[in-house]
Structure formats: structure tokens, C-alpha cells
Structure 1
Amino acid sequence: MPSAIMILIPVLGGLIAGIMALSAVLWLAPRKCEAWQGLDADVLSEPRQFQFRHGYLVNHSGNVGFLLPFPIDHLKAWDSLIEALSDINENVPTAFDALRDTGLPFKLEGPFGRDRVVIIGLRDGEDLRITIATAEERQGSVRIDLSSLKAMESEISMLARVGDTSPTLSWAVNDARQVVWSNAAYLERVAQCAGPDAAQGWPLHVLFPEPDDSGPGKTRRKNRDRAGIEHWFEVTTSAPDTDGLRHGHAIPLDTVIKAEDSRRTFIQTLTKSFAFLPSGLAIFDRNGQLTLFNPALMDMTGLDGAWLSRRPLLADFFDALRDRQKLPEPRDYKTWRDSLSDIERTAGRGVYIETWTLPSGATFRVTGRPQGDGAVTLMLEDISADVIADRTHRADQDMMMAVLEDLDDGIAIFEADGTRILANAAAAALWGDGSAGLPATLDGCITYWKTLSHPHSIWGELRDLIRSPDADWADWDDTIGQTKGPALRLRVSARPGGRIALTFRPDVAVTPAQSEVPAKRIASA
């Protein structure tokens, strides 16, 4: 007997240890759907509602202990409810986050005995409402609280108004490509194209038929109304949703198409006008590519039209000009080209203008004008003839001035307003020592000459010519006596444009004593 007891003691000990270990494993094992175990549909005979505001549980239905631990922590109730409902549908956390962050409503389902549990989430003003009810398949109904139903009805009504007031045509087609839903804009367009009767029954008239192999995306489509007028739309179609419906939306493009046609016509008109310009014209878009050029550009630069039609970049354009020696060769060509290519930046405060003197002797004036949209207009003008004419005119002036400097007579010419245009050296040398030179205006010269001569009425008469530049007057001569020098014979001559020419020469016929008495003016026709 004692030996039997000794044998049973270890066996009983092992049995007890095994039972305790099994109990511990069962206690620590995850208890999935513990809140729902042992429950039946009668527990949710009435919907359970939870109302949250800024993450805080402000109101809830009674008997929710199978969803939230008691006592209820109103600050953690949102997370606790997510944890409890995640066993019904794995999409609960994602749907709750979307509702909280963007107000996106949801409806999720999950198994509950022979029936199913429906979880509805929606935004009601600043509150978030979560409703949990059963969907009784035997009765074909879903129980929901009245406040949630009103909120859902209000949202559905608002969505319907949004769809009917939208100018965009919206519709849905089934797998048989029949229009089974549309908004008011689509119905109005159906009436315009197929008549009022076509907008009455279902399925509706199809405005934008799709080929069998068409997929989701954007296309430009057109249709004609009953008057035969074409209307353009940008049509966007989606892939089939969970119900097998494809949704379409059409944005009217009539205004856009007209604008594009006007722009195209305007560009054609500009192209024709630019073709007759003697200046070379090149327009580069915001990406620096050539978009428009005229024949004069090819004539001036020698660039091939086929190459220009390939829309070269602005930097490549300058490289091609350099290869044909149609631009000056700077010391650092790359830096010069890069700075010139970025005309919008370097000339952001105005128009870029530069004169190019080419090895061939031709001279181009280059004007770069940045546009507001990043485009650049480049104009090349051949100013070789102007430069040659300017050089010739300057040479003629220099030659004339050299001739005047060799004359013994003093000559001074003034504008109609009295500004001195030119005066040779003799004009200053005949008055005193000539070291002071002549003042820049006729009035200043008169004041200067009066200090070096005897009183004479001619100074007042010269001032009258300035005050009345449009008056008619004849050339005249007069003699002026200097206080320290020989008498001078002055001739006053009218020149084109109201200019006045004064010529001085020594009057050898007048003695110093005679020069003190003003001589009688001799007018000549």
C-alpha cells in the first residue's frame, strides 16, 4: 500500500501541473471576438449609437458594455471602439481614420451569427456618429437610429443637389453600356441632341458611345445638337466600381476650342505678316525652343529653314550663327552665349539691345524682348546702310569743320532757340585774344561781345531774333567797333529751320576813330 501511494503521488503531481499549464495557456491566448462571443441578434435589437466630438465621446446609447469596457473612458472610447469592431471587419481602422480626418462616410458589414452587423460612420456638423446595428437577412431590413437616418438622408439630398447644379455632365453606365443614372446637365444635353422625349425614360440616350476596347481615361469628344451645331467636351471615364458601373464626366470645351481656334488663326495671321518684315524674327518659348521665325531670318543669317523647323534651342541657335560668322566673336564665347541665352534674367528690367559688327562688314542690331510667360522674342535688323550713312555724314561734318577752321573769317551758327551749333577758331580769335572761347548760347555770346565792343544797337536786334524765331527777316551787314582791336564787319544770315549764322571779318575801311560811332546798317534782300 505505501508503495502504491508513492507511485500515485508523482502521477497526480504531473496531472495537476499539466492542468495548471493548460489553464495558463488558455488564459493568455488571444480571445478574438470575445466581446461578441455568446451574444445573439437580440443584443442588437436596437441600434447602438456613439457620438464623438473632437475625439471625445459626448453621448452614447445604453447597454454598450459588450463594446466598451466599464467604466467607460470617454477620452479613449474612440480607440476602444475601433479595437472592438476590428474583429468584425478589418477595414474599421482605415474607415475610422478617414472619417475623422476628411469626414468621409462609410458603411461596413461583418458576420454576427446568422445575421450580419452593419457599422455606419458619418459626420454630423462638428460631431462624428458611429452606428452599429444588425442586418436581418430573414426580414431584409437594417435597423438604424433616427438621427443617423436623417443625417444620411440630408447628405444624400445634398449630393443630389450638387450633381444637378454642376455644369459638368455626369452619368453612369452598366456592363451593357446603358446609361442608368445621370445628373440634370446630362439630361439637358440629351434633350438638346435627341429631343425632350429621349430624356424621359430609362435607360437614357447615350451621348458619348464608347468602343468595346475603351478603358478609363480622358478624351476629347464632340456631338451635334438638333440644330447641327458641334459641341466639344473633355470626357473622363472611370473603371467599373464594385457594382459594375462605370462613371463618366464631360466638361464643356466650346470656349476652350474657340480660344484655341482664335489663337491658331492669330498665329497664322502673324506668320503671314512676319513673312513681309525686312527684319529677322525668332520667337522662343519658355523652354527655349524656337516656335516661330520668318523668311528674313533665313536670308540674314543663312540658316537652313529645315533646321529651323526642328525647333532648335536658343543656345543652339547662337552656335549656328557663330559657325556662319553671323555674330561677333567675344573673348569668352561660352560665357557670352550663356548670358545671352538667358535674356529673361539678364534683361528682366527691360529690353536687351546689342549691336553686332560682323566680320563681313555688316552690322546687325539685335533686340531681345522677354515675355511674361517666359518666352523670348529675338529681332535682327540689318543696319549696315544706316551705319554707313552715319559714318559718311560724320566724315562730311569733319571735313566741313576742317574747312571752316582754315578760314580767316569767324563763323558761328546758332539754333533758333539760341544754342550754339558750331564756331570755328577764328570766331573767337577775332574778339580779343580768343583764349576764353565763345559761350554756348547766342545770349551769352552777345553779353561777351558787348564787353569787348562799343555800344551798338545790333545786340538788341540779335536778341529779338531769338525771341521771335518765326519772324521773317532779311540778311544784313553791320560794322562793330572793338575797344581793343580793329573794327569787325558782321553779317547776319538766316538759315533753314530758324538757324542764325554770324560771319565776322576785319573791316579795314573803318579807322579806329570811326569805329567808335555805330555805322549805318545796310539791309540786303
Structure 2
Amino acid sequence: MALHGIALILLAVLTGTASVVLATVLVRWWDKGPGRGRPRLPQGLESSLKPMVMLFRDQILVDATPPARALLDRFSAPEGDWTRLLHWIGPRFPDAIEALGRIDRLGRFESLGQGGSGSAVLRLEVEQIDAGLLRIAITDPQAEYAGIVVDSMSQQAMEEELDLLRRSLDQTPMLVWRQDAEERVTWANAAYLRKAEAQSDDSIGWPLPRLLESPRPVPGAGTRTRRASLTQNGAVSWYDCHSHQVGDQTMMFALPADAAVRAERSLREFVQTLTKTFADLPIGLAIFDRQRQLQLFNPALIDLTNLPTGFLTARPTLFDLLDQLRELRMVPEPKDFRSWRQQMSNLESAAATGHHVEEWSLPGGQTYRVTGRPHPDGAVAFLFEDITSEMSLTRKFRAEMALGNSILDNIGEAVVVFAPGGQVAMTNQVYRDLWSVQTDSLAAALACWQSHAEAGAGLDALCARLMGTEGGLRDSGLIAGPRGQLLGWSVARLAAGRQMVRFRLPDAAASAPDAGQPLLATASG
């Protein structure tokens, strides 16, 4: 019985072992079946691992893998697929363009592209299979045998961002391009390509022509700027060129600056016009900034003040200039230095806050008018004008006026002159003593005469004559004066529509001591 139980146990163990071995064999056989040697990739990822291969016969695309067709579709070159391929190859494989031209002799060549912003390095393989038939393959050496699979979502996001950046650079009005260490253009945006095509009669190729003399960046100095011009069809366009070093490449940005150039030219012409105008002015001009340093002066300032040109070009301060004028005796003689400094401080503050005018009587006999005016941003301008002849003429005119008034005061007749508007232009002392009232208009004078003189035909005739009413045809007559004396009057027309009225004592009234009453009766009658 014991032996029979042991036999049953051994039989069960052998049966279990055989089952495990058989299952293992079946699993291995299933894994080694057709199509089961490697895991299947999703259908969307299998296409990303296809090689980028193109076949060209006489520069006409014969066949291409889907990745290669997607690459060519990124460029819009009307010349064809071959030109699109060169646009992509040129910036990345600088030696490939020349090698493609000698492919008939070389038969086959490989080119390792320049490093990108990351670690990606591409390899270009060109092989001439038959006469005129080229096989072009583009591979990534680092991922060629690694079986790298890119996440489709990440790839789609990167492609969308790349498309947005490409469209933004192509639509910008400024010129953007990249240069290598030998100053060859390795990349350019659409605006640059359009300018390059307009400049050339033939179709352009790689490397692209340089359109502008851009500034050379200095390592560690950041961005540099330079203004450059571009002539096209006789028209000159201006650009502000900015350069920025990125590794061994240089990024260039050219912003249109035509409006700025026109504004600067207009400003420069305006300043030149002002400078010529200031140079011809007989008035000395000195403009000081907010720190009161001389910024602008004209030649008349030198002629009027005798200040040295070297002193003015050194941009002295306002108080230095005034001190120099004091030493040259070109300012009023001060009583003491303290009062002089206070006077000049008052001049500066008054000119800075508003319009200020002073007249300087110089020791040499000249008279200067000094005008101070505030300017924007705290600046102040001073004008020096020689008014010596004007002052002399004024003094002479005043002297002649005083002489004329003295003569009128001593002629023995009362004289008053009316302006065309009825204002009293002048009177003499005899007139003021006669009527005892100083009037300023014709109406006031008539009211004074009517209130102080006796009414009568003579007074009515005088009023009618001055007012130009009916009956005012007489130019002379008699009236009874303020103290009852008989006065003869006459009206004469002067230049510029003025009228002169004279009152005088008749000779008959003056020679008859007791004839006052008959004369008064005659005047009133």
C-alpha cells in the first residue's frame, strides 16, 4: 500500500512538469511565428519612422517618401521641387550646392549638416543612380538605429508653433536674415527674399546676396545698430539694422526707417534755416539750457558785446558771460559787486518766469535793450539789441515836441486840436487858462464852451461848424468868453483830418476900454 501511494505521487509530479514544459514550448513557438518577431507600432507612428528619400530625374521629382513630400510642401517656390529642395539644403549644407553641380564627376557624396539649436545633426546623401537620376536621402545619424518614436501630440504642437513663427517672420515688413562667420546669408525671411528678387534680374540661389551693410557685432557688447540704405529702381530706402550674435551665427534685423530719415532731414533743414536767419539778425541772441550753459549764439552777439569767439564756443554759464561783459564794460556800471550780482540774479529769474525787458545805458554811450524770454524745458533766451540810434531819435523828437509846445504856449492865442475821432490831440497853456477845464474829447469841449460862454449865434455857428451839421459853413466868428470878454474864433483843417480851433481877443475889443457892453451885444446878436 505504501509503495502504491508513492507511485501515485511521482506520477502526479511528472505529469505537472510535462505540462509546464509543453506550455513553454508552445509560447515560444507562437512568438516566433510570421509577423510576431517584434512589437507592432501604432499606425500613426510607423509613418514617422519612414526615411526621407527623393528621386530626381533631370531636376524633376520622380518619387519621394511621405516625409520627403511633407518637407518640400513647406516651401512655396514657383520654380519647382528642385528649387524648393535647394532652399532647404542651402542653409543647412553649405557645401552641398557646389557638390550637386559636380555630381556627374563625383557620382556620390555625403555632407554632414551644421548643428542646430539642439543636438540634431543631419546627414545628406546624394547618389547618381543613372544618367540624370539622383537619389537624395536625408537622415539623422544619432537616431538612425535607435528606433526613436516621437510623441504625435508633441510633434503636432511643435509643428504648429513652427508654422506660426514662420508665418510671422514672413509677414513682418522688416528684413530678417542670418549670416555665418564668413558673412554668407544662410537664412532669410520672405521680405528679404522679395527684396533680393527685385534687386536681381535672374533667379536667386544659395547663398543669397547681401543687400545691406549691417553692423558687425562685438562679442559681449550686445546688440549693435547701424543705418544703411538700399537703392531699388532709383528709389532709396533706409533701414535701421540691428545685429545680434547667436553662437557662430549672426542674426540681422533691418527695420524700415524712411519716415525717421525724412523727419530728421526736415528737422536738419529747419535748423539750418533758423541758423541762417539767426546769422543775419542784427540782434544778438544767446540761448541757455536749464543748467544755464550757453547752447546757441549768433554772430551779432559777438559784434555787439565784443566777447571772444573762443569764450562763447566753450559754452560758458550765464553768470560767467555776464561777468565777462562786466569786465569788458558792456553792462551798466554797478555801484558795488553785491548789487551787481543781485541785479543779474533778478534778471535771470525774471527771464525764466516770463517776458522781461531792461535798458542798459553803457559807459561808452550806447544803449542796449536786453530781453529775456523763457523757453521749453527750463531754457532761457536773451536778446541784445542796440537801440542807441532809436534812443537818440526819441530824445530829439521829445526835444522838438517840447519846443513846439513852448512856442504854442507863447503865441497869445488859445489853441486846441481835435483828432478825426473827436479826441483832443493837444492844447496850449493859454487855452487851459482860458477855459479852466482840461477836456479830452470834442463833445466834452463843446459842453465846456456852452456852460462857460454866453449863448448866441456865434457859439451856435462854432458848434455847427465842428459837428458838421446844417448851418456850419462859417470858419470864424465871435463869442462871449467865460469872463464876458469878446473872443474871436476860427476853425482850420489840418492834415490827416484834424481840426484846429483858435480863440483870440479882437484888436478892437482890446483898444476900447469901455466898449465891452456893445461888443457883448454884438456877439450875442
Which residue of the other structure, out of 294, 308, 311, is the alignment partner of 1:307?
311
Q: Which residue number in structure 1 is paired with residue 206 of structure 2?
A: 202
Q: Which residue number in structure 1 is paired with residue 245 of structure 2?
A: 239
Task: Give a deviation string over 1:404-457, Cα, whole Å, max 9, x none.
Answer: 3344322222222222233233213334xx3xx232222212111112222234
Distance 1:285 1:248, change over 3 A: farther
Mapped to 2, the partners of 1:157 and 1:326 lie a distance apart of 75
> Gaps spanning 5+ residues in structure 1: where?
1-44, 46-107, 110-134
Q: Report the alpha carbon displacement of residue 307 of structure 1 after superposing the two structures with TM.
A: 3.1
Mapped to 1, the partners of 2:446 and 2:272 lie a distance apart of 64
Distance 1:263 1:456, change over 3 A: same
Q: Which residue number in structure 2 is paired with residue 399 of structure 1?
A: 403
Whether contact under 8 Å (2:214, 2:241) holds in the other structure is no
Distance 1:344 1:359, change over 3 A: closer
Distance 1:210 1:485, change over 3 A: closer
Mapped to 1, the partners of 2:374 and 2:466 lie a distance apart of 47
Q: Which residue number in structure 2 is paired with residue 298 of structure 1?
A: 302
Mapped to 1, the partners of 2:262 and 2:468 lie a distance apart of 62
Q: Please give the secondary structure, in 1, of the residue aligned with 2:508.
A: coil
Q: Report the alpha carbon displacement of residue 390 of structure 1 after superposing the two structures with TM.
A: 1.2
Across the two proteins, how many residue pairs are aligned to each other? 377
Aligned sequence identity (%): 32
Q: Please give the secondary structure, in 2, of the residue aligned with 1:197.
A: coil
- Larger Cα-atom Rg: 2
Is 1:479–2:478 an aligned residue pair? yes
Distance 1:425 1:223, change over 3 A: closer
1:476-515 pair list within 5 angstroms: 476-482=475-481, 484-510=483-509, 511-515=515-519
Q: Supply the RMSD in Å over aligned alpha carbons.
A: 3.9
Whether contact under 8 Å (1:479, 1:515) holds in the other structure is no
Which residue of the other structure, out of 324, 338, 343, is the alignment partner of 2:328?
324
Whether contact under 8 Å (2:214, 2:252) holds in the other structure is no
Mapped to 2, the partners of 1:468 and 1:486 lie a distance apart of 26
Which residue of the other structure, out of 177, 181, 195, is the alignment partner of 2:183?
177
Whether contact under 8 Å (1:218, 1:237) holds in the other structure is yes
Task: Give a deviation string over 1:208-261, Cα, whole Å, max 9, x none.
Answer: 4569885554343434435455443322111224xx432111223333334333
Whether contact under 8 Å (2:459, 2:478) holds in the other structure is no
Task: Give a deviation string over 1:243-294, Cα, whole Å, max 9, x none.
Answer: x432111223333334333433443344334333222233456665545433
Is 1:346–2:345 an aligned residue pair? no
State the AA in 2 paired with 1:346.
T
Distance 1:483 1:275, change over 3 A: closer
Q: Report the alpha carbon displacement of residue 352 of structure 1 after superposing the two structures with TM.
A: 3.8
Whether contact under 8 Å (1:278, 1:296) holds in the other structure is yes
State the AA in 2 paired with 1:362.
Q
More helix by share: 2
Q: Report the alpha carbon displacement of residue 381 of structure 1 after superposing the two structures with TM.
A: 1.6
Is 1:443–2:443 an aligned residue pair? yes
Q: Which residue number in structure 1 is paired with residue 388 of structure 2?
A: 384
Q: Report the alpha carbon displacement of residue 513 of structure 1 after superposing the two structures with TM.
A: 2.9
Mapped to 2, the partners of 1:319 and 1:302 lie a distance apart of 13
Distance 1:365 1:508, change over 3 A: same
> Gaps spanning 5+ residues in structure 2: where?
1-41, 43-116, 119-141, 510-514
1:102-141 pair list within 5 angstroms: 139=146, 141=148
Distance 1:211 1:292, change over 3 A: closer
Whether contact under 8 Å (2:288, 2:296) holds in the other structure is yes
Mapped to 2, the partners of 1:167 and 1:339 lie a distance apart of 56
After TM superposition, the score normalised by the length of structure 2 is 0.61
Q: Report the alpha carbon displacement of residue 302 of structure 1 after superposing the two structures with TM.
A: 0.6
Is 1:363–2:367 an aligned residue pair? yes
Q: Report the alpha carbon displacement of residue 360 of structure 1 after superposing the two structures with TM.
A: 2.1
Q: Which residue number in structure 2 is paired with residue 189 of structure 1?
A: 195
Task: Give a deviation string over 1:21-75, Cα, whole Å, max 9, x none.
Answer: xxxxxxxxxxxxxxxxxxxxxxxx9xxxxxxxxxxxxxxxxxxxxxxxxxxxxxx
Mapped to 2, the partners of 1:324 and 1:449 lie a distance apart of 61
Q: Please give the secondary structure, in 1, of the residue aligned with 2:245.
A: coil
Whether contact under 8 Å (2:480, 2:523) holds in the other structure is no
Q: Please give the secondary structure, in 2, of the residue aligned with 1:318.
A: helix
Q: Report the alpha carbon displacement of residue 480 of structure 1 after superposing the two structures with TM.
A: 0.8
Whether contact under 8 Å (2:465, 2:475) holds in the other structure is no
State the AA in 1 paired with 2:281.
L
Mapped to 2, the partners of 1:184 and 1:285 lie a distance apart of 48
Whether contact under 8 Å (1:480, 1:519) holds in the other structure is yes
Which residue of the other structure, out of 226, 229, 233, is the alignment partner of 1:220?
226
Q: Report the alpha carbon displacement of residue 354 of structure 1 after superposing the two structures with TM.
A: 3.0
After TM superposition, the score normalised by the length of structure 1 is 0.61
